[in-house]
Amino acid sequence: MKLPAVSRKISTASVTGLAASLALFCAGQAHAFSLDDVTARAKALMEKPYAAPVKNLPPVFSGMQFADYQKMQPRADRFEWRDLPTPFKLNFYHQGMHFNAPVRINEINGTDVQEIRYDTERFDFGNLNFDKNATSTLGYAGFRVLYPINQEGKSDEIMSFLGASYFRVVGKGQVYGLSARGLAIDTAPPGGEEFPDFREFWVQRPSGDDKQLVIYALLDSPRATGAYQFILTPGGKDAVVDVQANIFVRGDVKMLGIAPLTSMFLYGPNQQSDLKRNFRPAIHDSNGLAIHTGGGEWLWRPLNNPRNLAISSFEVENPKGFGLLQRGREFSRYEDLKDRYDLRPSAWIEPHGSWGKGKVTLMEIPTPDETNDNIVAFWTPEAPPLKGQMLQFAYRMHWTTDEPALHGKDNAWVRQTFHTDGEQLQANLIRALDGNSAFLIDFEGPVLAKLPAGADVKAQVSVGDNADLVESSVQPNPAIKGWRLALRVKVKNPALPVEMRAALTQGDKPLSETWSYQLPPNQPATAVSVPAAPSVPAAAVPPAVRTAP
């Protein structure tokens, strides 16, 4: 399906004309529900004062602990579409804890649109004891999409919407990891972050032959509204979601985050753990931010868990792609049988059309454990949005465990980054620390694997003003059919960060993406106040602060 051009700014008058045309068309004949209908609703919402969702939870539900919330499970014999000749199924999240306002969910069937009404019979409440009358005015907190991706005839959960505008997707053999959002507003300090909500959904009933599921969503918040179309394609391996976002600006916004991704990085080889005697070599849902610029350059920024909030921006015009990736799929990198970080997908955003000038922003928030999503990445247009504007963005999301497939055959990528104390080999062959910081960066890819023996590979390295480059060398790494770059730098002021960049070349020809690393400042941690979305453990599915499944 060809997606429309994006990043067009449409005047309020034009949108008013669109709404009028839609109304005239609707009056003349019945029509299938579409993104135009949601867009008209979002535009109408924008013109009204914001009204917060009405909370309706009785104390028995609002005071729930997560262990009790988990007991409210959907009944398989009451899944939506269970009796229809389609492999797609739906089930629902019950309200509880901080999910204190219902989300309206509708089904589109041809030209007919009907609300899927709340029904207690859809749930098994386990051993919870409460007056069933207490549920009479409740609703759904969100929903899941099921489809047989791992075994024919067995429904697997492949997509989930729960909490604010958060959603997650998995492909074949994958487990939930990082999350996506519909929109981010003023995520970076000093402004107060705003978490828009998906207030209403419309899900198109699939036919028996449909391999895609179409979902529409209405977004609302104090400073923005939006109409979204999600086309979910499960696929034989990875999952793909095509997104069209029509966003209306209701109030002043300093930083509008498009296609935001939220993940967790606790530690890894580039930043070793402060945890004592932990058997896991790495704990993270993602270990780097990748960017494919409009000029064709590839960037790789390994993630950190800093002592203090760190914000990095990468100016990119008309980006070809960006995402938070989980590079390294060997189980030995994680050794975790319970959380299976090796099976958590990467999320790659492929913009459609010209997004113009802007930047990819990366936020790294300190976290003491793996229960917090502390990494945020999104695209921000250069021009601040104006009140009353409509902005359109279209993009494809790849939820994948095949990170090499995101690269061209003529480009190598960073396999892993090791950060260690610098050392020198003495005359007695004993290694002695020299007070420097050392980095080992392994590059791999077909372009390196096919190089002949003795190929003249060099490294272009640059180091920021807060450090001196002491050593730079490259050598083949036959274990991975790639090359290893070794760096040693002497930091001048440990209280300040150090920026470094490096790439492999052969003559004048670049061979690899650019490794772009920030060595965080070594200074005492300070209190960081970063607003978080309502938290829920990932077993229930996503928000900004959550517990790994």
Strand partners, 170: none
Which domains are seen in the chain, by residue range?
59-406 (2.70.98.10), 413-512 (2.60.40.10)
Q: Does the CA dihedral 365-367-283-177 come out positive or negative?
A: negative
3-state SS of 20-85 is: HHHHHHHHHCCCCCCHHHHHHHHHHHHCCCCCCCCCCCCHHHHCCCHHHHCCCEECHHHCECCCCC
DSSP string of 274-303? -STT-S-S-EES--EEEEE-TTS-EEEEE-
Q: Is 243 helix (H, G, I), strand (E, B) or coil?
A: strand
Separation of alpha carbons 400 and 383, rounded Å: 32
CB atoms within 10 A of CB 48: 9
Is beta strand 514-519 parallel, antiparallel or unpaired with respect to 298-302? parallel
CA atoms within 13 A on the CB side of 148: 6
Q: Is 410 helix (H, G, I), strand (E, B) or coil?
A: coil
Could you tell me which of 229, 198, 161, 191 has the C-alpha nearest to residue 540? 161
Residues 6 or more apart whose CB falls under 8 angstroms from that of 475 comprise 483, 484, 486
CB atoms within 10 A of CB 117: 10
103 CB-contact burial (10 Å; exposed 0-12 / middle 13-18 / buried 19+): buried
Separation of alpha carbons 513 and 500, rounded Å: 14
Could you tell me which of 99, 95, 104 has the C-alpha nearest to residue 72? 95
Q: pLDDT tens, position by position, for the chain (549 residues)?
A: 333 333 333 333 344 444 444 444 444 456 889 999 999 999 999 999 999 999 999 888 988 999 999 999 999 999 999 999 999 999 999 999 999 999 999 999 999 999 999 999 999 999 988 887 778 789 999 999 999 999 988 999 999 999 999 999 999 999 999 999 999 999 987 768 999 999 999 999 999 889 999 999 999 999 999 999 999 999 878 999 999 999 999 988 999 999 999 999 999 999 988 777 889 999 999 999 999 999 999 999 999 999 999 999 999 999 999 999 999 999 999 999 999 999 999 999 999 999 999 999 999 999 999 988 999 999 999 998 989 889 999 999 999 999 999 987 789 999 999 999 888 777 777 877 888 999 999 999 999 999 999 999 999 999 999 999 999 999 999 999 999 999 999 999 999 999 999 999 999 899 999 999 999 998 665 544 444 443 333 333 333 333 222
| Residue 277: per-residue pLDDT | 81
| Residue 10: per-residue pLDDT | 34
DSSP string of 154-200? --EEEEEEESTTEEEE--TT-----EEES-EES-STTSPPB--EEEE
| Residue 19: per-residue pLDDT | 46
Q: How distant, in Å, are the alpha carbons of 58, 72, 119, 121, 408 from that of 132?
A: 11, 13, 11, 11, 58
Contact 201, 143 (CB under 8 A): yes
| Residue 34: per-residue pLDDT | 96
Q: How distant, in Å, are the alpha carbons of 13, 335, 337 from that of 279?
A: 61, 8, 12
Q: How distant, in Å, are the alpha carbons of 167, 168, 304 from that of 538?
A: 11, 10, 21
Could you tell me which of 119, 93, 89, 120 has the C-alpha nearest to residue 107? 89
Which token pair is 237?
């391996």
Residues 6 or more apart whose CB falls under 8 angstroms from that of 151 comprise none
Q: Does the CA dihedral 417-422-426-430 come out positive or negative?
A: negative
Separation of alpha carbons 483 and 504, rounded Å: 9
Separation of alpha carbons 157 and 203, rounded Å: 16
Could you tell me which of 81, 98, 75, 303 has the C-alpha nearest to residue 213? 81
| Residue 262: per-residue pLDDT | 97
| Residue 409: per-residue pLDDT | 78
Under DSSP, the state recorded for 340 is -
| Residue 523: per-residue pLDDT | 65
Q: Is 452 helix (H, G, I), strand (E, B) or coil?
A: coil
| Residue 547: per-residue pLDDT | 27
| Residue 106: per-residue pLDDT | 98
Could you tell me which of 25, 143, 24, 34 has the C-alpha nearest to residue 81? 143
Which token pair is 201?
């959904």
Contact 458, 475 (CB under 8 A): no
